[in-house]
Amino acid sequence: MKEKFYRYIQELQDKITSRLEEVDGKAKFQEDIWKREEGGGGRTRIIENGAVFEKGGVNISAVYGPLAPAMQQYFKVGDVDFFACGLSLVLHPKNPMVPTVHANWRYFEMYDKDGTVIDQWFGGGQDLTPYYLFEEDAKHFHQVSKNACTPHGFSLYTEYKQKCDEYFWNSHRDEARGIGGLFFDYLKSDSHMKIEDWYEFITDVGNSFLKAYVPIVERRKNLSYTEENRRWQEIRRGRYVEFNLVHDKGTLFGLKTNGRIESILMSLPPHVQWVYDHHPEPGSEEEKLLKVLKNPVSWV
């Protein structure tokens, strides 16, 4: 399974980066191949200062070795070895009318000291963080995500949409990071679904990403915007940074397993503002977004 899924994310990275280069029309992804001392490595691809994308990364990695003590405590296991691979992407567009997007699809195995697999699971998801709310975009992103889930179980979209709303919640701000999407973790073999079935599910979700995001970018990338719109985007990006550094489990896992810091923090946007006690004008488009972030919506 680990070889099969790693092949899949290699191909998916190629597909996504080449399509995003077409959409941008100016910038190309720079590739960085890296090795991890304890075992494994990855292929980082970064796009910067494009016509559409101010900064973004589409990264794959496969790392293995002894599980760090901090993570042993987290998973409540003893001295075990692990293998983890996945594709992680974040795209921060320049135009505030185009939403930021994040997605991640990953696979994890744990072994005893004889090399026997003692646990294995998939996790991941995809979620959208707009700065200005276009309801048709929100509905489109959620409908494509739902269409990817439904063949594998009628209730999966509803369950993973709710988990996404709960996970990407900035509790210290009492608001969502964005308008959600899908979030799932610890997808293991059970009486309903075998690990092979979960592979089919997660690859269908991964394959849906470009269909979910690119039409939104194409619709919004040429809209005009003001300095004030840009300022709001940078203030909201600050909330994005707060979530990733305070709450995000993937960031935490990377930092605690001696992960590659450049790849872990590639999700952070290049221009951000923290304005003291900022509140948008009553009745404004900015306030409209905040109301939805305070009370997650059922989009489809």
Q: Specify whether 102 is catalytic.
A: yes
Cα 162 from Cα 247, distance rounded (Å):
17
Domain with 288 in it: what CATH number?
A: 3.40.1500.10
11 CB contacts (<8 Å, ≥6 apart)? none
Q: Looking at the domain assignment, is residue 25 inside a domain?
A: yes
Q: Looking at the domain assignment, is residue 300 inside a domain?
A: no
- What are the b/e assignments for 194-207, b being 16+ CB within 10 Å? eeeebbebbbebbe
Q: Looking at the domain assignment, is residue 126 inside a domain?
A: yes
Question: What residues make up the domain containing 225?
Answer: 2-294
208 CB contacts (<8 Å, ≥6 apart)? 126, 144, 145, 147, 148
What's the pLDDT at 72? 84
What's the pLDDT at 113? 86
Q: Looking at the domain assignment, is residue 261 inside a domain?
A: yes
Structural tokens at position 244: 């990733």
pTM of the model: 0.95
Spell out the per-residue pLDDT of the chain, length 300, in tens. 999 999 999 999 999 999 999 999 999 999 999 998 889 999 999 999 999 999 999 999 999 999 888 788 888 888 899 999 999 999 999 999 999 999 999 999 999 888 899 899 999 999 999 999 999 999 999 999 999 999 999 999 999 999 999 999 999 999 999 999 999 999 999 878 999 999 999 999 999 999 999 999 999 999 999 999 999 999 999 999 999 999 998 888 778 777 788 888 888 999 999 999 999 999 999 999 999 999 999 999
Q: Looking at the domain assignment, is residue 299 inside a domain?
A: no
Q: Looking at the domain assignment, is residue 68 inside a domain?
A: yes
- What are the b/e assignments for 169-182, b being 16+ CB within 10 Å? bbeeeebbbbbbbb
What's the pLDDT at 266? 84
> Based on the structure, what is the number of domains in the chain?
1
**Residues 92, 102, 140, 142: which is the catalytic one?**
102
Q: H or E segment at 61?
A: strand 53-66
What's the pLDDT at 188? 95
Q: Looking at the domain assignment, is residue 156 inside a domain?
A: yes
Q: Looking at the domain assignment, is residue 28 inside a domain?
A: yes
